[in-house]
Amino acid sequence: MRCLACGKLSFEIICKNCQTTLLSTSLHSREVAKDFFVYSFYNYTDISKLLNAKYHFFGDKILQILASNSFKKFSSSFTFSNQVYAISIDDVVTKDFSHSAILAQNLKSHIIKPYFNVLKAQNRVSYAGKSLEFRQKNKRDFIYSGKQYLNIILVDDIITTGATMQEAKIILEKNNCEVLFGLVLSDAKY
């Protein structure tokens, strides 16, 4: 097969050379609400082609590589005094996999435990390419069915306006959870 990034022959969907050179990470932060930060690893324009693979049957392999290069490395050096739970934003299975669940799974460590299928959106409207005004008028309307009194890292693939992260944080806090921060692969504003 050929590497999706450089086109050279490879045994992997993204060759080791591109994983090392093109997919090196740099942690960035954005304050989306007062004292609520979302951290990202990539500039959206640098990996947009790879992120759009989530709409294809091979998307899980691409997301696994991106998550391993970023989320897994992050979790290996993350410290906190108590157990932390990684909750992905609406980890619904589409195209035979959940992109946000793949990301949360890569955070698994002795401190971070992935917690699946507990934060669900009732509104399935697509936000792709939509304005902040549209997003605010068409909220996700999350339902949280998990345990209370948890320390949480919110997980998603992309942050654009931050509206979804803020809405998820609010519903989790209403359930007595503390959202420490958000973690995404890429920030569309970075």
Q: Is the CB of residue 62 less than 8 Å from the CB of residue 78?
A: no
For the chain, domain boundaries? 25-187
Say if strands 84-88 and 151-159 run parallel, antiparallel, or are unpaired: parallel
The DSSP bridge pattern shows strands 119-121 and 142-144 to be: antiparallel
Sign of torsion, CA 143 148 149 154?
negative
Give the model's pLDDT for residue 182: 98
Which class is domain 25-187? alpha beta
Cβ neighbours, 10 Å, residue 102: 25
Q: Kindly state the tokens that stand for 70.
A: 């970023």
Q: Are strands 112-114 and 84-88 parallel, antiparallel or unpaired?
A: parallel
Average pLDDT along the chain, 190 residues, taken 10 residues at a time: 88 89 89 96 87 73 91 96 93 67 95 95 76 77 95 94 93 97 91
If DSSP codes are grouped into helix, strand and coil, which group holds residue 20? helix
Cβ neighbors of 31 (< 8 A, separation 6 or more) are 37
